Structure 1
Amino acid sequence: MLFPRLFLLLGLASPLAAADFDLVVYGGTPAGLSSGIIAAREGASVVVIEPTNWIGGMVTGGLSRSDVGKEDTIGGFPREFFARAAAAKPDTPMWYAEPRVNLSTFQTMLQEAGVKVVTAQSLKSITQEGARITGLTTNDGTTYHGKEFIDATYEGDLMAAAKVSYIVGRESTAQYGEPLAGYHPMPIRPRTIEVMESDCPSIGGKGPSYIHGTPTSISGLDAQGKPIFGIFPDPKLSPGSADKLTQSYNFRICVTQRADILVPFPKPASYDPAKYELLLRLIQAFPGVRFGRLFHLGNVANGKYDLNAQGLFSTDYPGTNFDYPDGDAATRARIWQDHTDFIQGMLWFLGHDERVPQSLREQANSWGLCKDEFADNAHWPYALYVREGRRMIGEYVQVQKDLQTDIFKDDSVGMGSFLIDCHIVQRILAEDGTVRDEGSFQDTPALPYQIPYRSLTPKRTECENLLVPVCLSASHIAYCSLRMEPVYMALGHASGLAAVMAIKAKTPVQNIDVPALRKKLLEHKAVLELASLASMVRSAKLPGIVMSEQEAEQIGHWIGSAYGSPVDGSSIHDANTEKGTKSVIYRMKIPTAGKYEVRVSYASAPNRACNVPVIIEHTKGTQTVLVNQRKAPPIDKLFVSLGTFTFSADKPAVITISNKDTDGIVGADAVQLIMAN
């Protein structure tokens, strides 16, 4: 979809040959608007430049049921915005305002703050002096000079133009020691789950549950033995290998069953039913599957729902977005239009293809677009959901441990808490010709974690007057949790304040007074820490050598949990499934040879196994100790002792927790080694 030129500059009548501002924000996303409004409130002159016709990114462009994680981690500007949007119209839940209400709320806040906004103008070039950006020129030839710049785009276009280091794709497990990193083929996880009927009459029934993964064995080949549409050959990578692929994109669609505002789903001009063969096979594998099991329908307000992807085949369009992050305008427009046609075609297929059961066709046709949303775009959402574009490699790279174990940061300027959620990267053929989901997971929890200011700043040698609150410095795995709009907005809030501080101090953004920034954020009611975390047992504070389950190698599919009082706030369990195929291997470096007491922690419960094998590999051989996880550890201890063993310094101690032949749920938390006297 190519955007027609539209110029909107709040407070100005026509384009300028040149304009001077304290702060130039590129990207009218919620983070960009947050940073611009905050900086303007602090007295800065601000312009926000948005390459599309519409401001507000996903929050005004389709994603109306915001993912918030733990609500008590959200304060400052994002809480102010969502509270104002909810109050703008009766019967609107907090966080879940309609897209047009979110848009009008942003417009009001921008006008109140005096922020100038330019739309439909993309970045053409920049000028630099040393490590400083001095100007940004848009396609119409206007140059915007600024003292500070913020890249708030989903793609990271300004930072790329400034030659700031970045990455597209997935790191390997070895690069940052992240167990979830890299190429990640998913096994078939059979499930047929009975779902309670909700307040929405088309939600419910039997079918694949709201988790990613392949729910049953489905052939990915046509009659000639070739892959059907959307299925890719297995790249034959080792699990955990790096590549340049990103998780799938989609549109978050505002839908309704209200007859007074319902617009039927359109049929795209390029409609091709062959593109939905896998969807048809999924429907046939789950007779009676309902519309509300193929999609995630989140209730918003006033009879509207946010339709999102779930499961193996939905509005996600895996494998078609890989060229987008680094793509030029034509490439991105092609991908945008392809996603529009594919998703519209899917909804049309479900409502009209005679191979689809009549009941499912009737359910699909009972839904439609909303007449009072996106009226200037044929009621289709404005924003393609770019879940992951470029990611900066800045002063500090956040990785998996920063979300689960090393969660405290002295320079925290915001918090995240959403689970580590990655949508399908690609669908691949297994050796037997069946389909496998690759790259997805969404049942790995994150603790409420602090986000360091250093992750918003480029390396100081690369650029000293740029802040990046969206394509911030994080690994693929960390970004899978960070990538939530309230988090972006909180980081935009911090970036707006930091930019003003850098201007006033005439210093690089890397050198601002971060304690003063944190103080100012707290005055603005931002959330930088949670008192509830003070009582959490932290592995870094325990004696001896401690390794959490997140640092260990996990074999098979383990489920994350915060049940009990686990070390570092999380543990895992085997869900009492696939016995004999799952294990957790702790390889612990021994600094000094000698005898060590081996201890394990776990959450006890009546449904836990009483015969969990823990295998200890030591200098004298291997010993297996059975642990009764139905029995709680001693009250005055976190761990159960398995005995004393001798380890050498030239090889790691290896402790393995297995679920072989166990008679209940097997849990795994931390392992501790205490040197014996």
Structure 2
Amino acid sequence: MKKRWICMLLLFGFSYTLQAETKPTYTADLIIYGGTSAAMTAAVEASQVGLEVIVVSPDKHLGGLSSGGLGFTDTGNKAVIGGLAREFYHQIYLHYDQPAAWTWQQKSEYGNKGQGTPAVDGTNRTMWIFEPHAAEQVFENWIKKYQIKLFREEWLDRSAGAVLKNGTAIQSFKTLSGKTFQGKMFIDATYEGDLMAAAGVSYHVGREANAKYQEKWNGVQVGVLHHGHWFKSNIDPYRVPGDKNSGLLFGVSAEDPGQYGQEDARLQAYCFRLCLTDNPQNRVAFRKPKNYNPKDYELLARVYDSGWRETFDKFDPIPNKKTDTNNHGPFSMDFIGMNYDYPEASYAERKKIIKAHQDYQQGLLYFMANDPRMPADVRTEVAKWGLAKDEFKDNQHWPHQLYIREARRMVGAYVMTEHDTFSDREVNNPIGMGSYTLDSHNVQRYVKPDGYVQNEGDIGVHPKKPYKIAYGAIIPKANECSNLLVPVCVSSSHIAFGSIRMEPVFMILGQSAAAAANLAIKENTSVQQVDYNKLKEDLLKKQQVLDL
């Protein structure tokens, strides 16, 4: 009897061990990797057409930049924003149509205009400018309304073999927690394109040479100075002015910037879009970071010494006496040159890069509000501002999403270039439209031959009219992957991506990607073989705008 009990206990223990070591597998028609706004519209579209869908989000908070501080929406021509993207801005309108939404400001006091048009469009019942928490609540409401199965803080295992393929089709992928997600179709809706890369899909990082696609605004743009984000005065870049042997100030590269039009692997700068307020009741004063070094901001002090006074030009007002504060000027929120390794970096390395960006911006704000090198009048005004106490409450009021303006870009079935955005060639099979300026932030800060500092890479060129975005730009080449769609890291050149990369466009492409996935499943075919006429019919029924 005693031996039998021992055997039973050993058997039970062995069985328990096997169960403990077995990691679960989750299966659905469509697996969406990402927590961005594109992931959310893709999930809603999939749910609406009856697909089983699972969202696997590396993020805790949903919505990416749309809920991460970018409330001053980059829209361009709003007539091209349809479908679920427009529905998102309608839900924002409904939120602010409630008196309870106006905590620190009367609705009647808010008359802001954004991107050249009214922030609130009462005729079409849309609102384009909003607080971070309002946007996040819309996405959370969608998840709840459509009962979408969501896994938060699940990071793709990027090691070899974690993405399982059968020929050109993805079968499943694993996350770092050990979970496996198996599906018929997959969407990579991340800013980084990690699933796309792990699936063996071709991509590009950095700027192509102008000669690659016969473009004008790609590649190194030395001497091209758009917007106001360049040094308009002669600013000395050396620690001891005039002494080259003293070394360069923090943030200035000693590397040669390259020749005009030349390819490079550099990226346009990242930053956090900050939600600030000068309302004393809702303000958290700027804190000094632990590794703060005022010498890191000497170049900014010299800019002010030259007479520059555009401090508050991008403190764009959003409801309740808050801002979406973006980069502005030659030395500002963008941490120029410090993101080049980000796309291919490990998660641990990315975390360090993100932290460095946070430290830089927190130090910048503290310097501007406290350091005696700042002009007294500017210092006094900056000190009146602080982080909004009622935003990002679980992250010390700091945005949870770094603005990944550009990382990997797929080289897919069709590559969008400036010729498409300028409507110089016909785009067949459109799945949405864009209209915003071809916009790149600065890529590097260097020393000119005359010994003064300058920025390079900031481009702002307007398209002639709204342009079509090709279906081929969100699908890989047929010989690389047959069941993946990529609505964020789309197939485009650097400068074309500068216009496409706007949050409303990501929402549009996310919905269109899910609609295509649905057709591919129904027709038991690859994403490359989807019947475009059926896709077009579906998209038009959903009020997507494919032509004006």
Q: Report the equivalent of 2:7.
A: none
The equivalent position to 1:368 in structure 2, one of 377, 386, 393, is: 386
Show the 5 A alignment for 1:111-126. Answer: 111-124=144-157, 125-126=162-163
Structure 2 letter corresponding to 1:374: F
Structure 2 Cα separation of the partners of residues 130 and 151 of structure 1: 19
Structure 2 letter corresponding to 1:300: I
| C-alpha displacement of 1:50 | 1.4
Greater shift in the superposed pair: 85-94 or 475-484: 85-94
Q: Does 2:288 align with 1:267?
A: yes
| C-alpha displacement of 1:133 | 0.5
The equivalent position to 2:128 in structure 1, one of 95, 98, 115, is: 95
Structure 1 Cα separation of the partners of residues 42 and 531 of structure 2: 18
SS at match of 1:40: helix
Per the alignment, do residues 216 and 97 of structure 1 end up closer, same or farther by CA in structure 2, a change over 3 Å counting? same
Show the 5 A alignment for 1:193-342. Answer: 211-223=228-240, 224-225=243-244, 226-235=247-256, 237-286=258-307, 289-293=309-313, 296-342=314-360
SS at match of 2:292: coil
Show the 5 A alignment for 1:510-589. Answer: 510-530=528-548
Structure 2 letter corresponding to 1:108: N
Contact (CA 8 Å) 2:415, 2:492: kept in 1 or not? yes
Structure 1 Cα separation of the partners of residues 523 and 252 of structure 2: 55
Q: Report the equivalent of 1:178.
A: 215
Deviations 1:496-533 (A, max 9, x none): 11111111111001111111111111111111111xxx
Show the 5 A alignment for 1:614-653. Answer: none
- Using structure 1 for the length normalisation, give the TM-score: 0.71
Any stretches of 5+ residues in structure 2 without a counterpart?
1-21, 98-106, 108-118, 121-126
Structure 2 letter corresponding to 1:72: A
Q: Report the equivalent of 2:183.
A: 146
| C-alpha displacement of 1:468 | 0.2
SS at match of 1:240: coil
Contact (CA 8 Å) 1:151, 1:158: kept in 2 or not? yes
Structure 2 Cα separation of the partners of residues 222 and 271 of structure 1: 18
Structure 2 Cα separation of the partners of residues 185 and 356 of structure 1: 30
| C-alpha displacement of 1:437 | 1.0
- Using structure 2 for the length normalisation, give the TM-score: 0.88
Structure 2 letter corresponding to 1:211: G
The equivalent position to 1:37 in structure 2, one of 34, 38, 44, is: 44
| C-alpha displacement of 1:257 | 1.2
Structure 2 letter corresponding to 1:102: A
Contact (CA 8 Å) 1:24, 1:146: kept in 2 or not? yes
SS at match of 1:344: helix
Contact (CA 8 Å) 1:415, 1:487: kept in 2 or not? yes
Contact (CA 8 Å) 1:85, 1:101: kept in 2 or not? yes
Spell out structure 1 runs of 4+ moving beyond 4 A. Answer: none
Contact (CA 8 Å) 1:42, 1:500: kept in 2 or not? yes
Q: Report the equivalent of 1:130.
A: 167
Q: Does 2:90 align with 1:70?
A: no
| C-alpha displacement of 1:276 | 0.6
Structure 1 Cα separation of the partners of residues 361 and 370 of structure 2: 14
Deviations 1:202-233 (A, max 9, x none): xxxxxxxx533332211111214221111112
Show the 5 A alignment for 1:5-16. Answer: none
Structure 1 letter corresponding to 2:28: F
Deviations 1:538-560 (A, max 9, x none): xxxxxxxxxxxxxxxxxxxxxxx
SS at match of 1:35: helix
Q: Does 2:204 align with 1:164?
A: no
Judging by fraction of residues, say which structure has more strand.
1
SS at match of 2:171: strand
Structure 2 letter corresponding to 1:332: R
SS at match of 1:123: coil
Show the 5 A alignment for 1:375-386. Answer: 375-386=393-404
| C-alpha displacement of 1:407 | 5.3
Structure 2 Cα separation of the partners of residues 111 and 281 of structure 1: 52
Structure 1 Cα separation of the partners of residues 33 and 424 of structure 2: 32
Structure 1 letter corresponding to 2:156: L
Identity of aligned residues (%): 40
SS at match of 2:280: coil
Deviations 1:135-189 (A, max 9, x none): 1111110101111000000000000000100000010011100011111113678
Structure 1 Cα separation of the partners of residues 66 and 265 of structure 2: 27
Deviations 1:626-645 (A, max 9, x none): xxxxxxxxxxxxxxxxxxxx
Q: Report the equivalent of 1:355.
A: 373
Structure 1 letter corresponding to 2:272: F
Structure 2 Cα separation of the partners of residues 68 and 129 of structure 1: 40
Q: Report the equivalent of 2:92.
A: 85
| C-alpha displacement of 1:62 | 1.2
Q: Does 2:61 align with 1:24?
A: no
Any stretches of 5+ residues in structure 1 without a counterpart?
1-14, 190-209, 531-677
The equivalent position to 1:456 in structure 2, one of 467, 470, 474, is: 474
Judging by fraction of residues, say which structure has more helix.
2
| C-alpha displacement of 1:358 | 1.5
Bigger RCO of structures 1 and 2 (CA < 8 A, at least 6 apart): 2
Structure 2 Cα separation of the partners of residues 427 and 137 of structure 1: 40
Structure 1 Cα separation of the partners of residues 326 and 547 of structure 2: 31
| C-alpha displacement of 1:474 | 0.1
Structure 2 Cα separation of the partners of residues 16 and 29 of structure 1: 26
Contact (CA 8 Å) 1:254, 1:307: kept in 2 or not? yes
SS at match of 1:127: strand
Contact (CA 8 Å) 1:76, 1:524: kept in 2 or not? yes
Contact (CA 8 Å) 2:222, 2:257: kept in 1 or not? no
SS at match of 1:135: strand
Structure 2 Cα separation of the partners of residues 398 and 434 of structure 1: 36
Structure 2 letter corresponding to 1:104: Q
Q: Report the equivalent of 1:479.
A: 497
Structure 1 Cα separation of the partners of residues 225 and 527 of structure 2: 48
Structure 2 letter corresponding to 1:239: Y
Contact (CA 8 Å) 2:206, 2:265: kept in 1 or not? yes
Structure 1 letter corresponding to 2:149: K
RMSD: 1.5
Structure 1 Cα separation of the partners of residues 425 and 278 of structure 2: 43
Per the alignment, do residues 405 and 389 of structure 1 end up closer, same or farther by CA in structure 2, a change over 3 Å counting? same
SS at match of 2:41: helix
Structure 1 Cα separation of the partners of residues 213 and 441 of structure 2: 21
Show the 5 A alignment for 1:397-546. Answer: 397-406=415-424, 408-530=426-548
| C-alpha displacement of 1:470 | 0.3
| C-alpha displacement of 1:291 | 2.8
Contact (CA 8 Å) 1:122, 1:138: kept in 2 or not? yes
Question: Which of structures 1 and 2 has the bigger CA Rg?
Answer: 1
| C-alpha displacement of 1:446 | 4.8
Structure 1 Cα separation of the partners of residues 393 and 151 of structure 2: 20
Structure 2 Cα separation of the partners of residues 336 and 495 of structure 1: 29
Structure 1 Cα separation of the partners of residues 354 and 360 of structure 2: 10
Per the alignment, do residues 187 and 180 of structure 1 end up closer, same or farther by CA in structure 2, a change over 3 Å counting? closer
Structure 1 letter corresponding to 2:311: F
Q: Does 2:62 align with 1:55?
A: yes
Contact (CA 8 Å) 2:436, 2:462: kept in 1 or not? no
Structure 2 letter corresponding to 1:24: I
| C-alpha displacement of 1:236 | 5.3
